[in-house]
């Protein structure tokens, strides 16, 4: 393997890692804070992809600049995901906090429903989305052309990582979230309405996943199974990174992304997917709290 190939696969891995990060970070925080393992989280990713694509294509007649349309599409995708997320938490998850098993069953059922809704609205087959003009070229990277769009995904992921880190470390809300992941009951006895924070975190997590889906759409295409597929990778990331650990999910995302890219190159995507699930199983067996584990136990 030449250095060039190495760099190229490395960048490819980072790109995937950032997409995993966008979906996994919300999943991890939601579980850490509220003890809800959200099986519908991939659906938010899917909604983001579909809404972004529909917005991008739908506004073609009105707005001639593809870059602007793309920016609008990203925002629309994230907002749609966040909106559905907020409704989900408020209407479906919140009434079931006293019945955790049914909460999980609910999210699994919801994932199924949202996938079917997407099929009814946009059809069961896949679609493709064009890249915006300024991101459809290739950039010279160490003497080799590298698609600018992937660099965009990497930059987007890093930006979100930075913003959320600052939010978690520097703001009062972030402080409450970190405290709540550790001991939600104690936070309440300090006079803080944790349920309101739950809604907020669920909405933000859903919006991040949807933003990931929107960013992924021109890269991997738009199809109904995209949600479950990326959710599976996100599960792996969250297990490796440790449930409830934001930093853990960031590091694990990049690791899993790189592992995927190299396995894809050397073996086949299929084997790569299987290997990564196997790695998750091994981590769970050896260190169930994850490598950077923040939260003990599996809930329930």
Shortest distance, CB of residue 134 to another protein, whole angstroms? Answer: 35
Terminal Cα-to-Cα distance of the chain (whole angstroms): 47
Is residue 166 at the binding interface for another protein, with CB under 8 A as the rule? no
Angle between the 41-58 and 194-220 helix axes, to the nearest 10 degrees? 50
Is residue 117 at the binding interface for another protein, with CB under 8 A as the rule? yes
Is residue 176 at the binding interface for another protein, with CB under 8 A as the rule? yes
Shortest distance, CB of residue 59 to another protein, whole angstroms? Answer: 27
163's enclosing H/E stretch is helix 148-170
DSSP 84-131: HHHHHIIIIIGGGTT-HHHHHHHHHHHHHHHHHHHHHHH-SS-B--PP
Going residue by residue from 216 to 255, which x/- string records binding to another protein, judged by CB under 8 A? ------------x---x--xx--x----------------
Residue that has been written with the tokens 């970190």 in this structure: 178
Radius of gyration, CA atoms only, the chain? 19
The closest of 261, 198, 226 to 77, measured between CA atoms, is 226
Is residue 293 at the binding interface for another protein, with CB under 8 A as the rule? no
Task: Name the residue nearer to another protein (CB basis): 187 or 211.
Answer: 187
Strand segments, DSSP code E, in the chain are 138-141, 144-147
How many residues in the chain?
A: 300
Which stretch in 12-20, 59-67, 134-142, 191-199 sits in contact with another protein by CB under 8 A? 191-199
Shortest distance, CB of residue 213 to another protein, whole angstroms? Answer: 18
* Site residues (vs another protein, CB under 8 A): 31, 37, 39, 90-92, 95-96, 99, 101-102, 104-106, 108-110, 112-113, 116-117, 119-120, 172, 175-176, 178-179, 181-183, 185-194, 228, 232, 235-236, 239, 268, 270, 273-274, 277, 280-281, 284-285, 288, 294, 297-300
């Amino acid at each position: 393997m030449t250095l060039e190939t190495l760099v190229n696969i490395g960048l490819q891995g980072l790109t995937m890692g950032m997409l995993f990060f966008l979906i996994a970070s919300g999943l991890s925080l939601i579980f850490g804070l509220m003890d809800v393992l959200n099986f519908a989280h991939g659906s938010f990713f899917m909604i983001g992809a579909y809404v972004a694509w529909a917005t991008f294509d739908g506004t073609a007649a009105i707005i001639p600049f593809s870059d602007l349309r793309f920016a609008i599409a990203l925002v629309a995708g994230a907002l749609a995901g966040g909106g559905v997320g907020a409704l989900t938490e408020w209407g479906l998850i919140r009434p079931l906090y006293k019945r955790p098993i049914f909460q999980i069953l609910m999210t699994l059922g919801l994932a199924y429903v949202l996938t079917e809704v997407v099929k009814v609205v946009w059809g069961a087959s896949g679609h493709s989305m064009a890249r915006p003009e300024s991101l459809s070229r290739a950039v010279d990277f160490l003497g080799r052309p590298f698609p600018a769009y992937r660099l965009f995904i990497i930059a987007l992921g890093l930006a979100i990582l930075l913003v959320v880190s600052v939010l978690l470390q520097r703001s009062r809300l972030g402080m409450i979230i970190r405290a709540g992941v550790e001991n939600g009951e104690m936070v309440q006895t300090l006079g803080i309405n944790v349920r309101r924070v739950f809604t907020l975190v669920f909405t933000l997590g859903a919006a991040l996943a949807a933003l990931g889906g929107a960013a992924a759409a021109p890269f991997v295409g738009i199809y109904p199974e995209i949600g479950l597929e990326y959710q599976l990778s996100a599960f792996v990331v969250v297990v490796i990174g440790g449930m409830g650990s934001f930093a853990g999910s960031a590091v694990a995302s990049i690791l899993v992304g790189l592992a995927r890219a190299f396995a894809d190159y050397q073996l086949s995507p299929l084997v790569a997917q299987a290997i990564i699930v196997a790695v998750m199983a091994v981590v769970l067996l050896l260190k169930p709290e994850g490598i950077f584990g923040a939260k003990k136990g599996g809930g329930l």
